Structure 1
């Protein structure tokens, strides 16, 4: 079922479609320019934060003995995605200090050579007490947020356990902070972003729901904005904020349980918000294309909400363009291609939507279970399932599978890109995949 007319919708469909079509073209040009200008995969889901490596020529076929430049085992367990800059790849991981069931966890940052996979440095940032550590979900880890790279620094975030800044060169710790303690549910997941002098992330635990900006030079709190949402069954979420530009104004889009907020990234002042009832455990990162913000609303049954971001205050009844409520992902983030939106549900149904109306263009069952976000590279879609199989699909008005590849290892992390190579993290190792 697709709900296409929210409460308060009054603009004619024809006029809206013409306006949004123009905005789609402008947004697409802006995104393409952004991708072309960035050459490193420095944050979760790449330069735009939306899983786009449009100008990369990525391999479409690989296996354990095919098109693998190198494989490097990574100590411990972490589901953060690989990021890369200046010939170096960065990951976080959690290494148990003993074989005890409640062992302490050494929360570490690892730097690898992009050329050889060799571990250059491996630094402990925090030590988590295993006796008091909150339980995590079976599909989570103690090191799931993805690092952010900028200005020779690597910013790492371990949720309630703290945040830190290290030098990319040698792993020297510049600062750490554990000031922002809260009670997580099922562990941590949302990654940080950088805006000018601020390192920004969402906190969505059972006892605190807020968006936080730290001074990236010192780690001190620059601003904190509460979500102020009530009457939802569960308050925890794991989404990563997205920075967008709306008519020359920067907006920080942060989705949490029950609500998505747009904030001024410099001050934390709220610009607008849209509610979505009782949705919780929101994981997918929002995307922005064609003048619309697309948000997946989480458990127990996800919907995809498209919102016009030019409003003020509560825009739930005035700026929601459409809602889709079938086969919406709980975990994988979607991707925009031209004027289409592609999303894969956790149980392996790939959907192509008209990004202007929410109408379904086609659906296809891929099979498998999915947690990793979609990747667009070289004009192709890459879908990595939890068993390590990747399906490559050509975007278009009809479903067209290009190739399948299988590493046969558990994989929950989203892919990274380095030039024309894919960086794929499994439960035990990192792979560099090339043609």
Structure 2
């Protein structure tokens, strides 16, 4: 099926289970006020941040795909600082620090700081916390919102009020929270002081808000698909002013957007609403869209220089490969819903929500191997060197080779009681947000794993 080019598109990360998604109830519809760059007068400015290539500044790292980037583009795999592949509650643990509240916001690493969003439901406080990267000591904690939480019935039982991962350009830390039925984006400086705050638009919560902000050049891009009227928005990074906003239609979906250079062109890619759509990240202008997957999706798109991959969803299920122009290359009936997939350029790897690891050939979709790991998964994998790390909801982290020959397990490591967030990597260290205990006794920790 060929892609459909449109003048207006009407898509996005999740922490929900397919069994809990039912027919959408009545949600108040709020018209989306579209804004173009011609109307805002804000144009994207090209920015380079080479120092961030060796850090982990946003959801899925500096490259946005969970793959550890080479520091200068010339280093060989053997020159990468490899993290441990084995650990326990005591072995290869550099430090452990308590996390106030609860959240699925994954850690990011910028300079000497590890930064996450968190929420305290009892006090209805949404905050950002920064830790010293070397010691784990709390450097600062900034309160973003107090009150304004959605009704608990409008947040999925697996989700939190701090799902999205923070994004940073190396100077500012950008977070997006659902508060008072609005998506509010806040920028903090290196000391945790607020620089700006912008109300991006209304949000009718069905299971909560999940997408993470994305930095592209001088913009921060926000996704907010919801049954009341979804949208994508690009904000000026320095001022917080809306540069563009694009109507996405009224449907509930949960995927975070990504920008990938595919076919020699920067494309803003996102699934949801029964399609995979491409936009110009500088202007929000639609490029193409292809009907596929399902209405609701959770995972973030991954890509090579020529191909685009995505999976999900609810109520339908599909894993798909598209060309740079949105044409179907191959697909199958596999559903990888909450976790995102990962690729080494030759193979596509994924772990389903119910614990089946799979590997396909990028070229033709041929399944190379399939292995039942067991357990349930929400966390997304990362690839460091030739090793893939992925955690389940019982606190087990599986480490296996990024091989197309067969499943080759390196280690299975237990840490804590659960792991919803995805890990971050920098300079030979892994950073995990984990849960300890259950129910009202559950608490969270940030853990640095290193030799």
Cα distance, 1:376–1:35 mapped onto 2, change above 3 Å: farther
Partners of 2:298 and 2:154 lie apart in 1 by: 18
- 1:38 is paired with a residue whose SS is helix
Partners of 1:391 and 1:246 lie apart in 2 by: 30
| 1:395 equivalenced with 2:399 (yes/no) | no
Q: Give the superposition deviation at 1:48.
A: 0.9
Aligned residue number for residue 417 of structure 1: 425
Instruction: Give the alignment of 1:21-420 within 5 angstroms.
Output: 38-53=53-68, 55-96=80-121, 103-130=122-149, 132=151, 135-159=154-178, 160-168=182-190, 170-228=191-249, 235-276=251-292, 279-309=294-324, 311=325, 315=326, 319-326=327-334, 328-396=335-403, 397-420=405-428
Partners of 1:134 and 1:178 lie apart in 2 by: 23
Does structure 1 conserve the Cα–Cα contact (< 8 Å) formed by 2:229 and 2:249?
no
Give TM-score, length-normalised by structure 2.
0.81
Cα distance, 1:343–1:358 mapped onto 2, change above 3 Å: same
Q: Give the superposition deviation at 1:301.
A: 3.9
Relative to structure 2, which stretch is displaced further, 241-250 or 134-143? 241-250
Partners of 1:79 and 1:208 lie apart in 2 by: 25
- 1:323 is paired with a residue whose SS is strand
Structure 1 unmatched runs, 5+: 1-6, 10-33, 97-102, 230-234
Cα distance, 1:198–1:404 mapped onto 2, change above 3 Å: same
Partners of 2:258 and 2:342 lie apart in 1 by: 13
Does structure 1 conserve the Cα–Cα contact (< 8 Å) formed by 2:52 and 2:170?
no
Partners of 2:295 and 2:411 lie apart in 1 by: 35
Structure 2 unmatched runs, 5+: 4-48, 70-79, 436-443
| 1:432 equivalenced with 2:451 (yes/no) | no
Moved segments of 4+, more than 4 Å: 34-37, 130-134
Partners of 1:267 and 1:62 lie apart in 2 by: 45
Does structure 2 conserve the Cα–Cα contact (< 8 Å) formed by 1:104 and 1:129?
no
Does structure 2 conserve the Cα–Cα contact (< 8 Å) formed by 1:107 and 1:127?
yes
- 1:352 is paired with a residue whose SS is strand
Partners of 1:131 and 1:270 lie apart in 2 by: 31
Q: Give the superposition deviation at 1:260.
A: 1.7
Does structure 1 conserve the Cα–Cα contact (< 8 Å) formed by 2:395 and 2:415?
yes
- 2:422 is paired with a residue whose SS is coil
Deviation sequence 1:343-385 (CA, Å, 0-9, x none): 0000000001011111111100011100000111121011210
Q: Give the superposition deviation at 1:36.
A: 10
- 1:53 is paired with a residue whose SS is coil
Deviation sequence 1:240-263 (CA, Å, 0-9, x none): 111112344221112222122111
Partners of 1:416 and 1:143 lie apart in 2 by: 17
